[in-house]
Amino acid sequence: MSFTPDIRLFSCHYTSQQSCANEGKELEGLGFPENVRISRVPCTGKLQEITLLKAFEDGADGVYVVGCPADACHNVKGSQRAAKRVEAIKKALGELDVEPDRVEMYHLSRGLHPEFVDAAQEMNERIQKMGPSPF
C-alpha cells in the first residue's frame, strides 16, 4: 500500500541553507519531497531527545536530523551530540518494538549540495517502505 509519509527534518541552519534559496523554491525544483517538513535550528547540538519524540507524538512517520560533518561542526561538537541523541531515540524505538530506522542522523557539508535532497529522498523511500507509524 503506497502512502505519503509525514516526515520531519530538523536541520542546522548551515546545512539547510539550500532551503532558503530562491525564496524557498530551490529545493522544490531539485526534487525535495513536499512531505518533508523542515525545522531549522541554530545547531543540531541544541536538539533535545524530547523534540524528536514529540514529532512522533505529533504524527510523524519518520524523523531525521541533518547536521554538519561530525569533525567539522560549526559549533565543534554540536552534530556529534545530535547523533548521540538520535541513537538514544533509535534505542528507545527498538524497546517499543518499532523500527529504529524511523529516525536517522545525517552529517552533510554546509552550503548548497545535492546530498541534502538525496537524504530527504532516501528517508522518504525508507519510510514509504516501512508504512505508517505504529503510534
Partner 1 sequence: MIVADRKPLAEILDMVKDCKKILVLACRGCVTVCSAGGEREAEILASLVRLGLKKNGSKAKVIEGSLVRQCDREYIDAIDQWKGKYDAILSTACGVGVNFIANLRPKDNVYPALNTSFLGGSAEQGIWSEQCAGCGNCVLHLTGGLCPVARCAKSLMNGPCGGSVDGRCEIHKDVDCVWQLIYDRMGRLKRQDEMKIPAPIRDWSVAGHGGPRKQTRDDLTV
Q: Binding residues for partner 1, per CB under 8 A?
A: 48-50, 53-54, 56-57, 92, 95-98, 134-135
Q: Which is nearer to partner 1, 58 or 125 (CB)?
A: 58
Q: How far is residue 109's CA from residue 13's CA, in Å, rounded to a whole number?
A: 12
* Shortest Cβ 12–partner 1 spacing (Å): 21
For residue 21, the minimal CB distance to partner 1 (Å) is 34
Tell me the longest C-alpha to C-alpha distance in the chain: 43
Tell me how far, at minimum, the Cβ of 69 lies from partner 1, in Å.
23
Residue 73 or 108: the one with the smaller Cβ distance to partner 1 is 73
- Those residues whose C-beta lies under 8 Å from the C-beta of residue 17, and which sit 6 or more positions away, are 110, 111, 112
Q: Select 49 or 125, whichever has its Cβ closest to partner 1.
A: 49
Q: What is the distance between the alpha carbons of residues 109 and 68, in angstroms, rounded to a whole number?
A: 6
Closer Cβ to partner 1, 38 or 98, answer by number: 98
Q: Which residue has the cell 534505542?
A: 91
DSSP string covering 71-103, please? T-BTTBSHHHHHHHHHHHHHHHHHHTTS-GGGE
- Shortest reach from residue 95's CB to partner 1, in Å: 4
